[in-house]
Amino acid sequence: MKLLVPVKRVLDFNVKVRVKADQTGVDLANLKMSMNPFDEIAVEEAVRLKEKGFATEILAVSIGPAQAQDTLRTAMAMGADRALLIQTDEDLQPLAVAKALKALVDQEKPDLVIMGKQAIDGDNNAVGQMLAALWDRPQATFASKVEIAGAVATVTREIDGGLQTIAVDLPAVITADLRLNEPRFASLPNIMKARKKPLEIKPLAELGADTAPRLTVTKVAEPEGRKAGIKVTGAADLVARLKNEAGVL
């Protein structure tokens, strides 16, 4: 069974986000970039499926700038077998990413695509669902548990009131939620090994997908901030203030 794992290079989740003064976007210059945390979880799940003998090959793919090769090397250090960079300097919107991935899926014919539920830059939570639709295959989003038997994946999903389990016929798209697993750290020997694994680079145009933007961002602003309040002296002070000052009791 062949697995495809799309991974995105994003601003590291620990870096403080600053909006550019001219309000055209978020400042990314010289800041630490990492693999989207949900994609790390997706890579980990793929590697576990391979370790359990379900998967035979894991292909990691990223659509992005030349630097996304680092992200792909990380995926290979975690256990992906090969990697593909679909190179572009444009920041593609989810519909365009989904179309590019659909073109790739047609070429690579994976049995399963495992990806993050959400990239933590745009917070779109969209590409997995869109890829599944374009591919005309089922989706199992927000996964917290994945079991494969034959050509069926049984997936437990995190939903509003708790958990739901569904069965989807492969090929399918699974999107990873936080509780699916705890991703491993790549060991030094595995980082060295990953340097020798194949990493292919293709220009985006070669996929022939329509990646024209549909959305225009006209402004990126700081949110209305909250100010720090006061420290109260104890529970009695707190309750009095909640009742009299804030009026919320």
Ligand X SMILES: Nc1ncnc2c1ncn2[C@@H]1O[C@H](COP(=O)(O)O)[C@@H](O)[C@H]1O
Q: State the residues that interact with ligand FAD by CB under 6 A.
A: 13, 37, 120
Of 64 and 81, which CB lies nearer to ligand X in the complex structure?
A: 64
- Residues 59, 3: contact at Cβ < 8 Å? yes
Binding partner of residue 115 among ligand X, another protein, ligand FAD, none, CB under 5 to 8 Å per kind?
A: ligand X
Cα distance between residue 47 and residue 129, in whole Å = 22
Q: Is 174 in the site for ligand X (CB under 6 A)?
A: no
Of 15 and 120, which CB lies nearer to ligand FAD in the complex structure?
A: 120
- Residues 109, 139: contact at Cβ < 8 Å? no
CB of 155 to another protein, least distance (A): 9
Stretch that binds ligand X, among 16-24, 51-59, 60-68, 138-146 (CB under 6 A): 60-68
Distances (CA, A) of 105 to 4, 7, 173: 8, 15, 11
- Residues 91, 26: contact at Cβ < 8 Å? no
Residue 67: phi and psi, rounded to 5, are -65, -20
Q: How many residues bind ligand X (CB under 6 A)?
A: 22
Q: How many residues bind another protein (CB under 8 A)?
A: 80
Out of 41, 68, 177, 211, the only residue in the binding site for another protein (CB under 8 A) is 177
Q: What is the number of the residue whose Cβ is closest to ligand FAD? A: 37
Cβ neighbours of residue 57 closer than 8 Å, sequence gap 6 or more: 1, 2, 3, 50, 81, 82
Helix axes 68-78 and 188-196, enclosed angle (nearest 10):
120
Show contacts with another protein in window 10-29 (CB under 8 A).
11, 13, 16-17, 19, 26
Residues binding ligand X (CB under 6 A) = 6-8, 36, 38-39, 62-64, 92, 94, 97, 115-116, 118-119, 122, 124-128
